[in-house]
Structure 1
Amino acid sequence: MAMIYGFQIVVLLPFFLSIITINGVLQPKYFDVTKYGAVADGKTDNTRAFLATWKDACAYPGRSRFWIPRATFLLGSISFEGPCNGSMTFLIKGTLKAPTDPSKFFTDSWIGFRYLENLVVKGGGFLDGQGSSAWKYNDCQKNSQCKSLPATMRFDFVQNSKVHHLRSINSKNSHFNLFACYNMNISFVRLSAPADSPNTDGIHIGTSSKITISRAIIGTGDDCISMVSGSQDIDIHDVVCGPGHGISVGSLGRSHSHEHVMGIKVRNCSFINTDNGLRIKTWSPSLYSVASDIYFQNIFMRNVRNPVVIDQQYCPFPSGCAVQSTSAVQIKDVTFDNIWGTSSTKVALNLQCSGVLPCKNVKLININLAYHGPGGPATSTCSHVIGSSYGKQIPGGCL
């Protein structure tokens, strides 16, 4: 009897699976932007067509596939908002071009995703921010009336999602910006902008947790990856950075005094011809905050101007800040482990901590940074640092 019962299950199983497939649970449904009026000529603004496509795709109760075919589409500032009724995969096979008309690009983002879960953005396509049309407007350090420039792709309140196999070029501002996100994985992306393009961070993270960035190539005019207030449980590995300003924690302390930075891991990364390598920076003066549990491991530097930096006197304004050396950000439990390569300046390791709240429990383990220029070899300098060193120390004499 048991054998007959088991046979009945085997016979009936394909029937039930066919019903599930017919109901759209197993088979994804594709929503092609060209079916909604998108014109692939690189000149027509396709914002309305993309929004119409999104409306239907987001309403679909099964697995949606937002489909952008292999062609070139001009797209204005747009926000794809949820929550959606099912999972969403945003497939970019072609090239998306941002507007170059200033009347259309003074926003905080070009392509935005908000209030979504189980989102996947992929496809091997290109995001062309056409940033050269906007970089001249990036004058906020000297112009208090400046207008914001858009991040190429912004994620707000996005959870349990993935971004992979994309290419972003010539962003007007940051390439990717994450705010209030949880459990996101970014991998196999290539982000590029000229070395002199202003504020073109590769990936900017704030008020987000459990973020993984891996197997990426990033070359920009600003930080390859920046993590500001509220960044927690961030894992960065197998990233090549250059040109750019390195991988930075900060700037911290200017606002958000209770949004601490904790649990940062940067490992197995390379820095090629960058201005900075590994950097922690805090405003001076600043609000109270904490940056702790930060771990840098297995990092290669080639011709990096400032390979290892803690800067608690950060002030980017040419006129200077009101008071120096009074950062109230507590930096503690920071490890630099197995950092090697070459510095393009004599000071290869520079740890300048706060005189009010000195850095605590800073560890230097197997540091080997050479300088081959005039006045060599490499040197190090430390101020207000409590810590220890282990293994090889080149340059030595800091802790």
Structure 2
Amino acid sequence: MDKHGYIRVMALYCLFFMALIATNHAAVVNVKTKGAKGDGATDDGPAITSAWKEACAGAPPSQLVIPPGTYMALVVDFIGPCKGPIEIVARGATIKAPPELAKFTRDTWIKFMSVDKLTLSGGTFDGQGQATWKATKCQDSQSSCNIPVNLRLNKITNSVIRDVTSLNSKNFHIAVLASDNNRFENIVIDAPGNSVNTDGMHIAKLNGLNVTNARIKTGDDCISFGDGSKNVHVQQSTCGPGHGFGVGSLGKYPNEEAVQGIFFRNCTLTGTTNGVRIKSWPASYPGAATDIHFEDIIMNGVQNPILVDQEYCPNNQCKKGVPSKVKLTNVSFRKIRGTSATKVAVKIACSPGVPCENVEVADINLTFNGGATSECSNAKPKVVGQNVPKIC
């Protein structure tokens, strides 16, 4: 070996050992070292947050370990930025929120914020929301009436959330805002059909999200999209009970960002009050939603399996009869099959003010005892293949 070759080999060895040393010195922090009891009664929130701060500030790739056990926590904050990639390992751990809404003074229980390259592996997060669903208003006059979301992700980027369970949230289970290029894998969301306002996942103002193998049972939309949702792919996921997979409602507020690039593939809905749905308010502010596609979807006894509703007006909280100003373009429903629990299995009710453009309905097979029908207004969908029912 010549001199230059020897120098190159030694340089590679040095780099290898430096990487090995750096890895061996990566920060690993166990919440028990910060005083977490894991007895299901003590408020372990401060201990978990303290352990996070140490791991976040430590040498990357760092790790926060929440060992198996049951932890009570009023609030937990996982806030960055961190020095580098960081993983929270919570396999076998259950974290419970206090059941009393009056103890909360904010709209978030577990907060993730401003972290790049986060991995959350495992963990069950139980919001204990049963008493909150039953109440029609805050029971304690001292409460701020903020109803907390189980898991809120804000400005989380290039991250992976996997093997996580959210139970009985008081409000939305998982809210993802301004968080780009993330993946959710093997997620379980579980609450009864009578739980109020417990969207499984609510997504808004982000670019790039993949959701794979989510199993969602809840009392509201299994997955809902607010304004600014872009390039989201949902596949191999199930919904039911719940209100289905929904884009919107859109147009309620001024200056909403456009929704663009929403893709659902290979999903199943069972016993839900809606199937795949796009909704906007009448008398809305201007807005737009484009490139929304539902393909290879199975419906099992679903009400309103395919629904575009640009007259969405729950509890008469709007001006009916005034057209929506949210423009829908490039929307497709392909290979959707199964059984409808209502006669109108396909309803495409677009706005008379800004009619839908480029809507495609292809290879639909939805049956109803007595014969399914379809309805269309302010749209002329492109019909492809064999369709049951006959499309408009």
Q: Does 1:363 align with 2:366?
A: no
Any conservation in 1 of the 2:25–2:59 contact (CA below 8 Å)?
A: no
- Deviation at residue 320 of structure 1 after TM alignment: 4.6
Letter in 1 for 2:95: L
| Paired position in structure 1 for 2:333 | 336
| Paired position in structure 1 for 2:113 | 114
Q: Does 1:392 align with 2:389?
A: no
Distance in 2 separating the partners of 1:292 and 1:139: 37
| Paired position in structure 1 for 2:313 | 315
Aligned 1:142-221 pairs, distance under 5 A: 147-221=145-219
| Paired position in structure 2 for 1:100 | 99
- Deviation at residue 106 of structure 1 after TM alignment: 4.5
Distance in 1 separating the partners of 2:365 and 2:107: 41
Q: Does 1:304 align with 2:341?
A: no
Give 3-state SS (helix, strand or coil) of 2:84's partner.
Answer: coil
Q: TM-score, normalised by structure 2?
A: 0.94
Any conservation in 2 of the 1:312–1:325 contact (CA below 8 Å)?
A: no
- Deviation at residue 130 of structure 1 after TM alignment: 0.6
- Change beyond 3 A, Cα 1:366–1:139: farther
Distance in 2 separating the partners of 1:273 and 1:351: 21
2:285 to 287, 308, 319: 287
Distance in 2 separating the partners of 1:50 and 1:238: 33
| Paired position in structure 2 for 1:238 | 236
Give 3-state SS (helix, strand or coil) of 1:393's partner.
Answer: coil
Q: CA RMSD in A?
A: 1.9
1:84 to 58, 82, 85: 82
Any conservation in 1 of the 2:101–2:147 contact (CA below 8 Å)?
A: no
Letter in 2 for 1:208: L
- Change beyond 3 A, Cα 1:158–1:320: closer
- Change beyond 3 A, Cα 1:309–1:81: same
| Paired position in structure 1 for 2:375 | 381
Letter in 2 for 1:209: N
- Deviation at residue 107 of structure 1 after TM alignment: 2.1
Distance in 1 separating the partners of 2:59 and 2:263: 38
1:65-90 deviations in whole A, cap 9, x for unaligned?
11100011001122221111121111
Distance in 1 separating the partners of 2:85 and 2:294: 35
Distance in 2 separating the partners of 1:81 and 1:282: 34
Distance in 1 separating the partners of 2:48 and 2:254: 35
- Change beyond 3 A, Cα 1:332–1:146: farther
Distance in 2 separating the partners of 1:323 and 1:216: 36
Letter in 2 for 1:243: P
- Change beyond 3 A, Cα 1:259–1:219: same
Distance in 2 separating the partners of 1:162 and 1:65: 14
| Gapped regions of structure 2 (runs ≥ 5) | none
1:64 to 62, 65, 68: 62
- Deviation at residue 62 of structure 1 after TM alignment: 1.5
Letter in 2 for 1:211: L
Distance in 2 separating the partners of 1:135 and 1:210: 32
Distance in 2 separating the partners of 1:305 and 1:27: 56
- Deviation at residue 58 of structure 1 after TM alignment: 1.1
Letter in 1 for 2:97: A
1:184-228 deviations in whole A, cap 9, x for unaligned?
111111111000101111110011111111111111101110011
Question: Percent of counterpart pairs with the same letter?
Answer: 39
Distance in 1 separating the partners of 2:101 and 2:272: 31
Distance in 1 separating the partners of 2:224 and 2:101: 27
| Paired position in structure 2 for 1:39 | 37
Runs of 4+ displaced beyond 4 Å: 4-16
| Paired position in structure 2 for 1:273 | 271
Any conservation in 1 of the 2:327–2:355 contact (CA below 8 Å)?
A: yes
Letter in 2 for 1:327: S
Distance in 1 separating the partners of 2:256 and 2:191: 33
Any conservation in 1 of the 2:51–2:64 contact (CA below 8 Å)?
A: yes
Which protein is richer in strand relative to its size?
A: 1
Any conservation in 2 of the 1:251–1:283 contact (CA below 8 Å)?
A: yes
1:34-65 deviations in whole A, cap 9, x for unaligned?
10001111000112111211121111132111
- Deviation at residue 326 of structure 1 after TM alignment: 1.2
Any conservation in 2 of the 1:139–1:146 contact (CA below 8 Å)?
A: no
- Change beyond 3 A, Cα 1:137–1:27: farther
- Change beyond 3 A, Cα 1:11–1:146: closer
- Change beyond 3 A, Cα 1:347–1:58: same
Any conservation in 2 of the 1:138–1:149 contact (CA below 8 Å)?
A: no
Letter in 2 for 1:396: K
Q: TM-score, normalised by structure 1?
A: 0.92
Give 3-state SS (helix, strand or coil) of 2:314's partner.
Answer: coil
Alignment length, in residue pairs?
387
- Deviation at residue 386 of structure 1 after TM alignment: 2.7
- Change beyond 3 A, Cα 1:281–1:331: same
Any conservation in 1 of the 2:158–2:180 contact (CA below 8 Å)?
A: yes
- Deviation at residue 14 of structure 1 after TM alignment: 4.7
- Deviation at residue 256 of structure 1 after TM alignment: 4.4
Distance in 2 separating the partners of 1:192 and 1:256: 33
- Change beyond 3 A, Cα 1:361–1:169: same
Give 3-state SS (helix, strand or coil) of 1:54's partner.
Answer: helix
Distance in 2 separating the partners of 1:219 and 1:232: 24
